[in-house]
Structures are given as structure tokens and as C-alpha cells.
Amino acid sequence: MEKCRDCNSILTKQETACYACGCAVKRKTEGAGLANNMVRVINVLLVVSALLTLASLFFSFTPTFTKCAFATLVLGIVKSSATQMAEREGK
């Protein structure tokens, strides 16, 4: 459910301007879509990589622990910068 930032009236998804106060509706999903999608993908990769890191301690079918830990670390850095990007674009 979206609300107008100015008057708090409820907006439908098709509305591009608030019917109550006439202010233009700025949607969070627009513009931030790419960065948000990136964050989502990186999140998945990060979880997979973290699980692999954990698994590499116990199993031999995974890449070495060092490789997994390194990948997790890199993904963590990428994720934090992508999150920042998404926040900047969303504003």
C-alpha cells in the first residue's frame, strides 16, 4: 500500500500524482530497481557462499575454505556498496 508523502492519502498503483493534493508521486521502485535487484542477487550469492564456507569445513566436495571465505568477504563488500547505491537511488 502506497501513501502520498505530503498528505498521507492512499494511492493506487496507477496514479502518478496524488488526487488529494496533486503532488507528484515518486515511487521507490522506479530508478532504484536495478540496484535493488542487484542487492537481491548479491544477497542470494552471499548466503550460498556463506553456506559453502561452512560446508567446506566439513566436506571435501566444496572449494577450499580459503576460497569460500574470500568469496564471502568480497560479496559482503559488494553487497554493502550495492545497498548504499540502492538507498541513494531510492531517495
Instruction: Note the residues at the interface with Zn ion (CB under 5 A).
Output: 4, 6-7, 18, 20-21
Measured from the CB atom, the residue of 28 and 40 that comes closer to Zn ion is 28
Rounded to 10°, the helix 65-90/29-56 angle is 170
Please count the other Cβ atoms lying within 10 Å of the Cβ belonging to residue 84.
Answer: 12
Smallest distance, Å, CB 24 to Zn ion? Answer: 10
Alpha helices in the chain (DSSP H): 29-56, 65-90
Measured from the CB atom, the residue of 6 and 87 that comes closer to Zn ion is 6
Smallest distance, Å, CB 21 to Zn ion? Answer: 3
